[in-house]
Amino acid sequence: MATLKLPHWLFPTLVIVLMAGVVVTNRYLQPGQAPLSITCADLPNGCTVRLDDREVAFGIQGELKVLAPFEVWVKAPEAKAVQASFAMKDMDMGFNLYTLRPDPQGIFRAHVTLPVCVTGRRDWVMILDIDGHKLMTPFVTQM
Ligand SMILES: [Cu+2]
């Protein structure tokens, strides 16, 4: 009986497929994957919210205008990874993802510049990702 000879590319291919599977699983099956929606009436003043087991404060510094940079800040004690992205409801506004970096006080910050919407809409949603926990906040940019 002939021995079954496996092609030499089979093992590396299996490893790659397995690794891709792990990445996809991590991305889509994170704990608390349902985003928490919160209305923050005054983003420049900041808002505080309980996100799972953590008290999180967030806000912006500067003016909420398109094409002009403003700063997003997040206070999330002991957070490891904080990211922000911006979207419009029912509209693809393109890929934008900002990684917030902690300042010496441990407040996560990033400078953000929003594009102009081709339809003239000004309603945005900020999506904060804090260690895989998502927080969504609608806001409207100034004219
Ligand atoms: Cu738009």
User: For residue 125, with 0-12 CB atoms within 10 Å meaning exposed, 13-18 middle and 19 or more buried, which class applies?
Assistant: middle
9, β-bridge pairs: none
Radius of gyration for the chain, computed over Cα atoms and rounded to the nearest angstrom: 20
User: What spacing in Å lies between the alpha carbon of 27 and ligand 1's midpoint?
Assistant: 26
User: What spacing in Å lies between the alpha carbon of 94 and ligand 1's midpoint?
Assistant: 9
Q: Is the dihedral of CA 40, 44, 50, 53 positive or negative?
A: positive
Whole-model pTM: value is 0.75
Residue 118's pLDDT is 94
User: What spacing in Å lies between the alpha carbon of 38 and ligand 1's midpoint?
Assistant: 20
| Model confidence pLDDT, tens digit, residues 93-106 | 999 999 999 999 99
Q: Which residues surround ligand 1, an ion (CB under 5 A)?
A: 88, 91, 117, 121
List of domains in the chain = 36-140 (2.60.40.1930)
| Model confidence pLDDT, tens digit, residues 83-131 | 999 999 999 999 999 999 999 999 999 999 999 999 999 999 999 999 9
Residue 23's pLDDT is 60
